[in-house]
Chain A
Amino acid sequence: MDLQPTDLQELLRSNAEDVLAREAPADRVRQMEASGEPDAELWSTLVDLGWTGLAIDEEHGGQGGSLLDLAVIIEQLCRNAVLSPFVPTALAALVVQRHGDEALRADLLPRIAEGATVAIALAEGRGEMHDLATTGEDGAVSGEKRFVEYARSTDLHLVAASRNGASGLAIVPTSAEGVSIEQDLASIGKTPQAIVAYDGARADAWIEGEAAVEDLRRLGSALASLESYAHAQRALDMTVDYVQTRVQFGRPIGSFQAVQMRLADLATRVQASNFLVHELLWHFGEGSEDPEQIAVVKAVTAQTVAQVTQDCHLLHGGIGFITEYDLYFHTIRGKEASLRFGGAGEALRTVANALLD
């Protein structure tokens, strides 16, 4: 066991810190929130830096990085509260790489590396991810998907659907006839998302099999856990800094025991989440991921991010509640991430079933 980041990961992290400090300062993030659209200029910067191809094989135009390398970038995007289709696009690329046939990989992966964006269209109804009603008979996708993040702005939708009685994933261009946005959804984290109707929309390609759909759910959950952790870590770091500068009763509030005890508890949870999410991503790389553990990590990080962000607000007092200050970014984005691909309740059910059945 060696938990040290590699040299490459260190380099990625410091590059990402510099680039995002410059290209995605908080006022620009607020503009993204207000416009409800990702920042096209920022996206082309990320593409130029090679981040969109980071975890794509070299033979398909990427850099052949690991999931843990990708995690470095995702964590930095979260630390800067950036709204971008980076995670859904990376998730789609991973699923295509792991399950697509060679023709699809050779077509799609280089396009993604060069900046094509993908939305994930999985959940239906009130968040159902398993018994899906969407069909794709004869390559024409029909059904309604919800919580489709960046549905409007992405180039492609990866749509979970069944055809000939078997589940799979359809790749549908957003511009295809029969794809329509039924309703934009306002979500706690301000990530743009929508209800999308597919009415006989023609798929460009298919990934066959339930295994691919299940991998989408699992990897999606793991990346959402990573985001939850990253927001909790950032909120904690901001608060540790803040309590050292905020003075009440003639002392930094960080010198009060009540503040110290609370922060110590939060730091303990965040420390554990850090290990658990990275361990989990490592298992994905090794092909040894386990559904129970995916659910454990989802529930732990969900609990962590909610408690940490709320307690960081308590420790900040009024200032943290004001949107001119940056703490709330992590509260709302972190909570949103923890609900993506199912909430902690569902994760607990999975854990209980794995233990007892």
Chain B
Amino acid sequence: MRVPIGHRERAVRMHYGWTDEQLQFRDDLRAFIAEHRTEELLAELDEYHDTHEYGPAMRRFRTGLDEAGFSTMAWPTEYGGQNKGAFYLFILKEELEYWGMPYDALSVLSVGTTIMRFGSESQKREWLPKIQTGEMNFAIGYTEPNAGTDLASLQTRAVRDGDEWVINGQKIYTSAAHNASHLFMAARTDPEAPKHRGISVFVFPLDTPGITVRPLWTMGGGRTNETFYEDVRIPADSIVGEENRGWYTIMNALDLERVTIGPYAPIKRVLDLMVEHVREERPELRDDPIVRTKLAETKLDYEIARALATTNAAIIDGGHTPTMEASMTKVWSTDMKERVSNLAMDLLGWEGALHVSNGEIAPARGDFEGRWRLSPSTRFGGGTNDVQRQIIATRGLSLPRG
């Protein structure tokens, strides 16, 4: 059965405005964020970039999101959600991104909805409530040293042994494997089959014996991991979906991410922070025609991002699957995130280099510097931008494959 995350009957075909209900939702959300975005939380967020550990204010916010019904709002009512359309998710994600608020989208949206669609009844009953509260949260174990863009060539093996699966192999960039409760893993279950047809997906606790997690520190400041699996034994019912059909489960998980794939909020955020900084701290730049032109251009870049992301969300909200629209959104917003943070630094000059740890003295709390350092990962993560461009050309424009 296909779980409709975004499907709603549309009375009006073309309508460029938000409904009153959607606007109300956004206002409620903004008020909610404003209430939680305290100095304490901001300080924790500054630390979070380095430690990846939630502080007390961040945890309160996570619980609050849940209690207000925001976190699983897009889930069907039968699983405790509100069956809100894709646009709600879109608004939610844009607001949270804009304010830099933490949200466990990976577990709730990608894994949660995949389990709804492909999981067994008992998996759904047992796991979904825990995913909703955040008690169960995931690291994603797809990528391997030799299987990145060519993910289907992954080699980690899962072999059936009685009523268990035995897993052996290595994953890389298994982010959050050091503090998530569970792993959502793709492993090879049939080495003889063509590479896309011998993969299965498993969910198991990260404290299962045989798993070794080694940190990999990133230039963004945060941590990801290498993970090693040596005779890791998990119960037979840890498999999600059909055996050897895992590739399609993974692709579906990626599909569901698409409504939030290329948020425009970061670009708006940089623009707003830049405007504020120039007006308040750098009056000499405010009258500079070059600064004015560049900021105006940034506004155009933002409008393009908003147009692409909204088009994509509208397709999903209408019950369809975007192809090139999602890729366009992803490429533009992630490329632009790099460019606008770079621009902000270039316009500020010397002080643009200051890191968040300098406190008040760093422009916009080091936002531009930190964002620029982080931007590589969004350009090659979630399907590298050059591969997305190929999707636009081949699937979108129907050009022949090279």
Contacts and interface: CB of A to CB of B under 8 A. Distances in A.
A269 interface: no
Interface stretch (B60-68, B217-225, B259-267, B307-315): B217-225
A339 B380 contact: no
B384 interface: yes
Contacts of A317: 148-149, 380, 384
Contacts of B386: 256, 258-259, 262, 314
A123 B348 CA distance: 13
Contacts of A345: 285, 288, 290-291, 294, 346-349
A342 B153 CA distance: 47
Contact of A343 (B173, B224, B347, B402): B347
Contacts of B338: 310
B207 interface: no
A345 B387 CA distance: 32
Contact of A310 (B220, B345, B350, B375): B375
Contacts of B220: 321
B373 interface: yes
Interface of A: 123, 126-127, 146-147, 183, 185-189, 195, 247-249, 256-259, 262, 302, 306, 310, 313-314, 316-318, 320-324, 328, 331-332, 335-336, 338-346, 348-349, 352
Contact of A318 (B150, B172, B351, B375): B172
Contacts of A262: 386
8 contacts: A302-B346, A310-B338, A314-B376, A314-B386, A321-B376, A321-B377, A323-B219, A348-B290
A345 B281 CA distance: 16
B218 A323 contact: yes
Contact of A313 (B149, B216, B281, B380): B380
Contacts of A259: 386
A310 B376 contact: yes
A125 to B, nearest CB: 9
Contacts of B291: 345
A324 B216 contact: yes
Interface of B: 143, 146, 148-150, 153, 172-173, 216-220, 224, 281-282, 285, 288-291, 294, 338, 342, 345-355, 357-358, 361, 363, 369, 372-373, 375-377, 379-380, 384-387, 389-390, 402
Contacts of B345: 335, 339, 343
Contact of A146 (B143, B282, B289, B350): B350
Contacts of B357: 186
Contacts, number: 142
Contacts of A187: 353-355
Given A186-B354, A306-B342, A339-B346, 8 more contacts: A147-B350, A188-B355, A248-B149, A310-B375, A310-B376, A321-B380, A331-B376, A332-B373
A96 to B, nearest CB: 23
The listed residue with most A CB atoms (<10 A of its CB), out of B216, B290, B353, is B353
A301 to B, nearest CB: 12
A344 B346 contact: yes
Contact of A335 (B173, B347, B372, B390): B372
A310 B337 CA distance: 12
A313 B353 CA distance: 19
B217 A127 contact: no
B290 A314 contact: no
A126 B217 contact: no
Nearest to A122: B350
A318 B217 contact: no
A317 B379 CA distance: 9
